[in-house]
Amino acid sequence: IKVADAEGKDVSLRNLLLNRCQKEFETQNEYEQALLEKQKQFKGLSAKERQIRKEEIDEALAKNKRRMLGNIKFLGELFKLKLLTENIVHDCVLKLLRAGDEESLESMCKLLFTIGEDLDSDKAKPRMDQYFDQINRIIIAEKVSSRVIFMLRDVVELRQNEWVARREGHYNPKTIEAQIEKMQEQRLAVQFPVMNKKQKQGGPGNIMEQALWKMQKI
């Protein structure tokens, strides 16, 4: 498909999209670096002025990140339509993984869930292995929320099963919440084994056990 670019020249739609996406990434990276540099220029400002500037920069960084994530989602859709090469999408996955914040990790999970099977070719296996080594380290570290950890585990499980879902509900919030609740119950069972024994017998025992039993019910 031929379309006109900004200069009125005929170019293919694929090349136009590639150039646009590349420009967006470069612009967003430059903008983010510029914002981070501004944070270093707070010296000499009052505490109130520093707080105002910090809030402005944080808001701008968040807005820039949302735009970046939107572009990455768009790239995933283009890849499914065979309009983008694997290398571009691999760059997106790596960028999200390196960012490491919960929003980026969640977007990475959704991207891999959608196009992971197509990316996981024999040629790209070393790359994918590196991604999943890092994902497993994040899971073990448990420095992100339980919700994100379960999403990461779902992606790992999906790849282990050759990208065939073993159950419905990948990335289903209800499923994730149920897993979190189950995990919390298991932790309580380990912490308060006496309480669980009394529950099986029909209720809590002494006053302390009653209090613990009520805590579990909250």
Per-residue pLDDT tens digits for 154-199: 999 999 999 998 755 455 444 555 555 555 555 555 444 544 444 4
The residue among 73, 150, 151 whose CA lies nearest residue 115 is 73
Nearest to 83 by CA among 9, 135, 24, 12: 12
Quick one: average pLDDT of 128-148? Answer: 94
Cα of 147 vs its chain's centroid, Å: 10
Handedness of CA 113, 152, 93, 120 (dihedral sign): negative
Please give the model's pTM, rounded to 2 decimal places. Answer: 0.58
CATH 1.25.40.180 in the chain, residue ranges: 85-166
CA distance 135 to 177: 21
Class in CATH terms, 85-166: mainly alpha
Span 34-53, pLDDT tens digits: 877 877 777 777 888 888 88
Q: Which residue has the higher pLDDT, 38 or 217?
A: 38
Residue 56 token pair = 């402005």
Per DSSP, the three-state class of 10 is strand
d(CA 58, CA 44): 20
Would you call 4 helix, strand, or coil by DSSP?
A: strand
At 138, the pLDDT band (50, 70, 90 cuts) reads very high
Instruction: State what percent of residues in the chain have pLDDT above 90.
Output: 25
Q: Which residues contact 191 (CB under 8 A, 6 or more apart)?
A: none
Residue 134 has pLDDT above 90, yes or no: yes
The residue that leads in pLDDT, 92 or 212, is 92
- DSSP letter, residue 41: T
Tens digits of residue pLDDT in 104-124 = 898 899 899 989 999 999 999
Q: What is the dihedral of CA 86, 90, 93, 97, to 10 degrees?
A: 170
Dihedral (CA of 99, 124, 88, 67) sign: negative
